[in-house]
Amino acid sequence: MMLRYALQTIRDRKGGFLGAFLALMCAAALITACGTLLETGLRGRIATERYAAAPLVVSADQNVHRTTVKHKGNGKTKVKHKAKPVAERAWLPADILDRVSALEGVGKAVPELTFMAQPMSTQPMSTLPMSSLPVSGRSASSQAATSGQAAGRGEGGARSEPRPLAESRPQSEPRPLAEPHPQSEPRPLAHLSARPSYGHSWASAPLTPFRLVAGRAPSADDDVVIDRVLAGQNGLKPGDRLIVQSTRAPRPYRISGIAAPAGQRDLRQQTSLFFSSGEAERLAARPGRITALGVTPAPGTDLARLKQRVEQALKGTSAQVATGEDRGPVEFLDAAGARIKLVSMGGAMGGTSLLVAILVVVGTFALSIQQRHRELALLRAIAATPGQIRRLLGREALVVGAAAGVLGVLAGLPLADWLHGRFIDMGAIPVTLERTAGVFPACAALVVTLVGAWAAARISGRRIARIRPAEAMAESAVERGPARGRIVAGLVLLAGGAALVGVLSVLRTEAAATPVTFLAVVVSATAVSLLGPYLVRFASVLLAGPLRAAGAGGSLATANIRGNSARMASVVTPLTLLIGMTCTVLFVQPTLGDAARTQARDGVRATWVLAAQGPGVPSEAAGAVRGAPGVTAATEVVRTTVRVGLDKYQAQGVTQAGLARTWDPDVTSGSLTAFTHGHDTAAISELAADRLGLRPGSALRLHLGDGTPASLTVAAVYRRGLGFGDLTLPHDLLARHMDNPLAATVLVAGHGSRDELAAALQRFPGLSVLSAETADRLQADRQQENAAVNYCAMGLILAFTAIAVVNTLAMSVSERIREFAMLRLAGATRRQVLRMLRAEALSVLLISTALGSGIALAVLTAFSIGMTGSAAPSVLPLLYATVVGAAALLALAATALPGRLALRARPAETAMSRQ
């Protein structure tokens, strides 16, 4: 009976339920999209390419481990083991090849070397002198094999601040300073895609397997075999010259052959270059080590049993054995690390969107039920019991929620695909991490939608269902104040929001501060929702004077705001949330980034900054600059992350000679001189020193980028950690354990001119000499690019909130047809009624702007205090004005259009039909 009546009610009051339907559908779509990203992070497939022909792959453990033993009072002990991924690739000892090859059932064991090898340009063989580019490399002690993708992987730990000035690596500069010889001008490659490019030894070609389709295998040190895709895109053939930037200075190689995977399509996620065994070992610069070991079982050998034998033989080492889909994470370390990032992003987006959805849906149902107050009061007056009213509202909500949930889930799946693609385009996650489209996010979104709709309806209808029938009729005519429980809940949430703001002011890491930041905004907006009627009444007193000056429309608006504060509060809430959340999203990253850039700008003493269009600045180029006229110091800077315990810290490696001429981190204790004169010393930021309990002279034990343990002595503690990272280590120590040992930037001090530096760099293509001001500007541009990921992630939530604002305003206006008719019959013109609506909309906008801006300012100030030590968040006035202007357009459009439609009907007919 109640279900049939609920269906009839929905059929007869489509307009009243449309707002709730739209809110629920958007919520379901948002939850589905976020859930899909979260599931992709947890279960996303990483397919192998290079190791397709190796059923079993042995690799090094890519984690740092810590085991703790806790003794309980009953004599028992509890052993707890934790592991965190390292930032760079960990390598295997080469002697593992002999141990595995000797095992029963092993058909063939092929060692693999993987290192960075970026093709830069081509040159006809007849015109390129072998002496035109450097061939010799730096010593093995300053090299590291690279995959070029792993820096910055992992989660938790220290803050993840924007890259400072000393690390700017522009992708496109006005003019490279390395001018080619007129008679032998290099030709840039026409198709350099975003795919990473790796170098390998030709001996490891069977792991795919690669087969020659033209030419011959590399035999000399200057031979290279390229894959068919690179050759086809750039019209390359055997005999051509290819300039390759690897872990050393760029060098020309003769293309001896072209290869392609046998029996399968070309590799889609990477470009492969194959060198002779000797040259590959030189470029990898890891003597006595290999990247991985591919194993093929002997005929008739069971793979699972062979895996057990290999694991048993390697027990006690850092080696790990992978088969099947587990080989993908071994090949693509960046994709494996991106899983953690995607889980973090999906969880944060999903949690925030769920809280926003609850707030919006409850507010929408509250407005819908408030508009049906007279109808529900009449049901109570004709003997409907409280239980029947609750069941009616619950069934209506379930019907609307089911329809909205199904459509929302269907819309959320393509939305998740779009988000996944956007994150790939922006470099937040690699293309190798395939999106997972399971049923769990869709089912979870549908359940959340149904439960949320039912709970919102029951909460919103609780008062009308409990009061006596006569009181229900009286309340339908005169608005009563909020219930006592609502006031108490609002005060509790207000205190909770204040407490979160207080906590935020002492959080010093971005990973910890970001979720608290948005949670504080949502909790504060929820408190505004519960205390809204009182806030609206208070604001109406302040706005009474200005509204009266607007004429009859303003006076009517004042009366409506005072007499219908609950209705107005339901409109104020989503608009407050929209303004508060948007301002927080837009100004969090500038607050952090501007502080980092300011510290870097103040701490860089260099006159010029060398930057690369390619993977980095080789040490040979920095050496050439040091010999240029007028140069007093050239500091190479590399960056990665290290683990102290299990916590992750941003670290930079700097060449120590002449460091004081190019860099000033604002040392507060210890001595920078002690750091520059010691190969086993470190400088550390005040934040890291406080967290780790260190001071000058203390021992700092850490794991470098590839997991290698190291013990250093703290020589200096500095203040500018936000601009230069928490740890500063010797360049050679850090670079030896990085995938990309090339300098991100080189800081150059002295009075040498740009032209003199350009002359010194003529042999090195793709390098640019920038002034400190230009490098700072490029860093600001990079900061905006990095912030684009956060804007995209939170943009959907803001779009959902904006839809809720329009939805709520339209519902509020469309249900006032009878009120408008009575005003028209009393002598008001259409223009006066519309003027009243505009005055109400502007009043709502002013109240929401004040509340939303106040919430955002409190949260941003607390964030700034915690992260930068200064209560001065970066708020851009023009951008803030744009936010308020956009909110004003939404409010006025969502009020004017329904108002004009409501005023089309004749007043007398409308008044009679609504009796």
CA–CA separation, 865 and 155 (whole Å)? 23
Q: What is the mean pLDDT of residues 39-65?
A: 90
Give residue-wise pLDDT tens across range 253-274.
999 999 999 877 888 889 999 9
Question: Residues in the chain, how many?
Answer: 915
> Which is more confident, 468 or 99?
99
Q: What is the mean pLDDT of residues 31-50?
A: 87
Cα distances from 893 to residues 367, 810, 842, 886, in angstroms, run 19, 9, 11, 11
Contact 746, 636 (CB under 8 A): yes
Q: Cβ of 485: how many Cβ atoms within 10 Å?
A: 11
- Band of pLDDT at residue 613, cut at 50, 70 and 90: confident
Residue whose token pair is 């279900």: 3
Q: Torsion over CA of 415, 421, 422 and 426, rounded to 10 degrees?
A: 160
CA–CA separation, 581 and 853 (whole Å)? 9
Predicted pLDDT of residue 198: 94
pLDDT at 154 over 50: no
Predicted pLDDT of residue 638: 95
CA–CA separation, 855 and 873 (whole Å)? 13
CA–CA separation, 475 and 461 (whole Å)? 13
Of the listed ranges 619-633, 688-702, 718-732, 759-773, the one predicted with least confidence: 759-773
Contact 719, 725 (CB under 8 A): no
Give residue-wise pLDDT tens across range 818-859.
777 777 777 777 887 788 888 888 888 899 999 999 999 999
> Which is more confident, 187 or 822?
822
Backbone angles phi, psi at 436, to 5 degrees: -100, 130
Residue whose token pair is 């000679």: 657
pLDDT at 179 over 60: no
Please confirm whether the linkage preceding 55 is cis (ω < 30° from 0).
no
Q: Two tokens at 249?
A: 């200075």
pLDDT at 786 over 70: no
> Which is more confident, 469 or 251?
251
Q: Using N-to-C axis directions, what is the helix angle for 373-381 and 386-425, rounded to 10°?
A: 150
What are the DSSP calls for 150-165, one per residue?
-TT---SSS--PPP-G
* 8-state DSSP, 141: G
Question: What percent of the chain has a predicted confidence (pLDDT) above 90?
Answer: 37
pLDDT at 240 over 90: yes
pLDDT at 386 over 60: yes
Cα distances from 549 to residues 136, 823, 845, in angstroms, run 82, 20, 18
Q: What is the mean pLDDT of residues 33-47?
A: 87
Contact 835, 844 (CB under 8 A): no
Give residue-wise pLDDT tens across range 291-301.
999 999 999 99
Give residue-wise pLDDT tens across range 655-683.
999 999 999 999 999 999 999 988 899 99
Predicted pLDDT of residue 163: 38
Residue whose token pair is 């295998």: 217
Give residue-wise pLDDT tens across range 868-914.
888 889 898 998 999 999 889 888 888 888 778 777 767 666 555 54
DSSP strands (E only) in 586-680: 608-612, 631-644, 647-654, 667-670
Predicted pLDDT of residue 182: 37
CA–CA separation, 26 and 29 (whole Å)? 5
Predicted pLDDT of residue 905: 67
Angle at 888 between CA 30 and CA 848, to 5 degrees: 75
